[in-house]
Amino acid sequence: MKVLVLNGPNLNRLGTREPLIYGSTTHADLVDMCEAEGKTLGFEVEVRQTNHEGEMVEWLHEAADASTPVVLNGAAWTHYSIAVRDACSQLTAPLVEVHISNIHQREEFRHHSVISAVASGVIVGLGVEGYLLALRWLSLKGSA
Q: Which residues bind ligand DQA (CB under 6 A)?
A: 10, 73, 75-76, 78, 99-101, 103, 110
Helix (H), strand (E) counts: the chain: 5, 5
| Burial grade of 21 (CB within 10 A; 0-12, 13-18, 19 or more) | exposed
- Residue nearer to ligand DQA on the CB measure, 75 or 119: 75
Least separation in angstroms between residue 10's CB and ligand DQA is 5
User: Is there a catalytic annotation at residue 61?
Assistant: no
Query: From CA 80, how far away is CA 135, in angstroms rounded?
Result: 25
Question: In this complex, which beta carbon is closest to ligand DQA, that of residue 6 or of residue 75?
Answer: 75
In whole angstroms, the minimum distance from the beta carbon of 95 to ligand DQA comes to 15
**Nearest Cα to Cα of residue 129 among 37, 19, 40:** 37
Q: Exactly one of 22, 27, 52, 80 is catalytic; which is it?
A: 22
Contact residues for 34 (Cβ-Cβ < 8 A; gap 6+): 5, 45, 47, 131, 132, 135
Q: Which is closer to ligand DQA, CB of 131 or CB of 137? A: 131
Choose, from 61, 80, 99, 111, the residue flagged as catalytic: 99
Active site residues: 22, 99
